[in-house]
């Protein structure tokens, strides 16, 4: 009887322990309770691999800083990174692995909107918060309340370039060459045209291509004959650099306009001198002399031997926003964490103050950068604010960067515009 009882106890304890282990951790990695696992996914191989690499770097730097300062609620943040090779199918596969196998408490990613759109339903379904650092297509956060982002969205970004084209470059006509394999590019095409038309301009021709195309001469030749004042190319760096080269080869010297998708250290190698004149909308300027930005630029450059592009800056901010939310939520319970993320207000990021609106999108100004291929540099041109946002009038703002970069401005400079008050998205470009 005694032996039987002992055997029973033994069997019970083995079964019980293994049950507990299963419930707590099924992936075989150590989860001793003193780390918080965060999934990160993006492309470190494939056509837009600098997007994923910068994102990974930005998050790594943020986690190291947070951990060096004691972590979050006494626990260290641990990044589990998955390469999705920049495809929507792989994005969906790797986010499922991070959530279901690795049991991450939250996910940071993706960059390209089409990849975020493929992966977001997995996070929403599993009720695991996903913060996209840099996907700007409006549909991404519409997937559900567990999906948010720390960047502005494309109805704003498209309007920013339309305003710059119309108000600053005085363009009356535009051509658009968009990537019809990307949700990002399709959205920007639509939003740019809407605003440009509203401002009295005309989009005289719209042409498309697909990612990985190499020859854009047929589309460009058609455009050339219509002599648009500017050409809007809302694509990713790999294709837009070749488009710039081929346009110049065809004798087209108009300003080329683009969006954040042009931002990559690779752009200069691929496009060279053809990338002038050209302007893009973007999330921040690494030249902004505000000390918090320069500290970040210094730390990042020291660590990775390259200046942080906007992807790195947004990724860094997404990691810090997540850490702040875990702190405010008092832990990682998913519903509480989601609520804490979604109520982020006035968080001081390197890409600006981050406040999420009711649709979980950040409401922030955009910068317009002028390309300087001779120096392989994006140079600050102006800041454009969303409707109703009052531009700051004190120090530590883009105004300093403006002053520092005043030589890059053209004759109808916007230098004084940020000193104006409300509704500066129109004021910004009215200074004659």
Determine the interface stretch with ligand PHE among 105-113, 160-168, 206-214, 325-333 (rule: CB under 6 A).
105-113
Q: Which of 53, 57, 137, 332 binds ligand PHE (CB under 6 A)?
A: 137
Tell whether omega for the bond before 303 is within 30 degrees of 0, i.e. cis.
no
Determine the interface stretch with ligand PHE among 36-44, 109-117, 337-345, 401-409 (rule: CB under 6 A).
109-117
Rg (CA), the chain: 24
Nearest to 427 by CA among 380, 389, 396: 389
Residue 43 has phi, psi (to 5 degrees) of: -100, 115
Partners of 208 in the β-ladder = 178
Q: Phi-psi category of 291—alpha, beta or left, where left has phi over 0 and alpha has psi -120 to 50?
A: alpha
By the rule CB under 6 A, 112 interacts with ligand PHE:
yes
Determine the interface stretch with ligand PHE among 219-227, 255-263, 269-277, 357-365 (rule: CB under 6 A).
255-263
Pair 178, 159: CB distance under 8 Å:
no
By the rule CB under 6 A, 184 interacts with ligand PHE:
yes
Comparison of 58 and 228: residue with beta carbon closer to ligand PHE: 58
Residue 332 has phi, psi (to 5 degrees) of: -115, 15
By the rule CB under 6 A, 232 interacts with ligand PHE:
no
By the rule CB under 6 A, 281 interacts with ligand PHE:
no
Q: Which of 193, 260, 324, 379 binds ligand PHE (CB under 6 A)?
A: 260
Q: How far apart are CA 45 and CA 149, in angstroms?
A: 23
Shortest Å distance, C-beta 58 to ligand PHE: 11
Residue 355 has phi, psi (to 5 degrees) of: -130, 125
By the rule CB under 6 A, 44 interacts with ligand PHE:
no
By the rule CB under 6 A, 153 interacts with ligand PHE:
no
Q: Which of 111, 147, 280, 368 binds ligand PHE (CB under 6 A)?
A: 111
Number of residues that bind ligand PHE (CB under 6 A): 14
By the rule CB under 6 A, 316 interacts with ligand PHE:
no
By the rule CB under 6 A, 58 interacts with ligand PHE:
no
Q: Which of 49, 53, 85, 134 binds ligand PHE (CB under 6 A)?
A: 134
Comparison of 135 and 425: residue with beta carbon closer to ligand PHE: 135
What is the secondary structure of 383-411 as a DSSP string? Answer: EEPPTTPPPP-SSSSHHHHHHHTGGG--S
SS3 content of the chain, % helix, strand, coil (to 5): 45, 20, 35
Structure token pair of residue 191:
């939003």
Q: Which of 44, 55, 136, 189 binds ligand PHE (CB under 6 A)?
A: 136
Q: Which of 44, 113, 166, 424 binds ligand PHE (CB under 6 A)?
A: 113
Pair 186, 162: CB distance under 8 Å:
no
Q: How far apart are CA 426 and CA 201, in angstroms?
A: 16
Comparison of 72 and 236: residue with beta carbon closer to ligand PHE: 236
Nearest to 36 by CA among 360, 350, 336, 333: 333
Comparison of 146 and 262: residue with beta carbon closer to ligand PHE: 262
- Position closest to ligand PHE via CB: 184
By the rule CB under 6 A, 310 interacts with ligand PHE:
yes
Q: Which of 78, 82, 193, 263 binds ligand PHE (CB under 6 A)?
A: 263
Structure token pair of residue 270:
């691929």
Determine the interface stretch with ligand PHE among 130-138, 210-218, 382-390, 393-401 (rule: CB under 6 A).
130-138
- The residue whose two tokens read 């108000």 is 167
Determine the interface stretch with ligand PHE among 10-18, 129-137, 315-323, 393-401 (rule: CB under 6 A).
129-137
By the rule CB under 6 A, 365 interacts with ligand PHE:
no
Pair 128, 334: CB distance under 8 Å:
yes
Taken in order 387, 390, 392, 393, the sign of the CA dihedral is: positive
Helix (H, G, I), strand (E, B) or coil at 131: strand
Binding residues vs ligand PHE (CB under 6 A): 51, 111-113, 134-137, 184, 260-261, 263, 310-311
């Amino acid at each position: 009887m005694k032996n039987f009882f002992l055997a029973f106890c033994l069997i019970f304890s083995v079964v019980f322990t293994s049950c507990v282990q299963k419930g707590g951790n099924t992936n075989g990695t150590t989860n001793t309770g003193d780390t918080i696992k965060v999934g990160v996914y993006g492309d470190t191989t494939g056509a837009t691999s600098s997007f994923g690499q910068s994102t990974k770097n930005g998050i790594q730097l943020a986690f190291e800083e947070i951990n060096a300062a004691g972590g979050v609620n006494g626990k260290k943040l641990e990044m589990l990174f998955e390469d999705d090779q920049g495809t929507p199918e792989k994005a969906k596969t790797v986010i499922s692995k991070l959530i279901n196998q690795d049991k991450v408490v939250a996910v940071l990613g993706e960059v390209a909107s089409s990849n975020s759109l493929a992966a977001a339903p997995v996070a929403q379904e599993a009720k695991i918060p996903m913060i996209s650092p840099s996907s700007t297509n409006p549909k991404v956060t519409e997937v559900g309340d567990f999906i948010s982002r720390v960047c502005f969205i494309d109805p704003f970004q498209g309007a920013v370039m339309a305003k710059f084209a119309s108000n600053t470059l005085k363009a009356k006509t535009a051509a658009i060459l968009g990537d019809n394999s990307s949700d990002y590019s399709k959205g920007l095409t639509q939003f740019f045209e809407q605003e440009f038309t509203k401002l009295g301009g005309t989009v005289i021709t719209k042409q498309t291509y697909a990612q990985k195309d190499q020859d854009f001469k047929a589309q460009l030749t058609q455009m050339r004959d219509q002599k648009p004042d500017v050409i809007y190319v809302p694509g990713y760096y790999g294709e837009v650099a070749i488009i710039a080269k081929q346009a110049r080869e065809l004798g087209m010297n108009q300003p080329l306009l683009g969006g954040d998708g042009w931002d990559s250290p690779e752009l200069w190698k691929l496009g060279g001198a053809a990338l002038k004149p050209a302007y893009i909308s973007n999330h921040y300027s690494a030249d902004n002399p505000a000390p918090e930005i320069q500290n970040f630029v210094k730390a990042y450059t020291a660590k990775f031997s390259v200046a942080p592009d906007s992807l790195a800056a947004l990724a860094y901010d997404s990691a810090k926003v997540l850490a702040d939310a875990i702190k405010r939520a008092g832990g990682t319970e998913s519903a509480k964490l989601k609520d804490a993320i979604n109520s982020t207000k006035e968080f001081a990021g390197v890409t600006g103050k981050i406040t999420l609106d009711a649709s979980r999108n950040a409401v922030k100004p955009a910068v317009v950068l002028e390309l300087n291929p001779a120096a392989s540099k994006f140079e600050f041109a102006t800041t454009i604010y969303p409707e109703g946002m009052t531009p700051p009038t004190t120090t530590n703002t883009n105004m300093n960067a403006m002053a520092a970069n005043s030589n890059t401005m053209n004759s109808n400079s916007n230098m004084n515009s940020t000193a104006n008050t409300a509704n500066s998205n129109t004021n910004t470009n009215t200074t004659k």
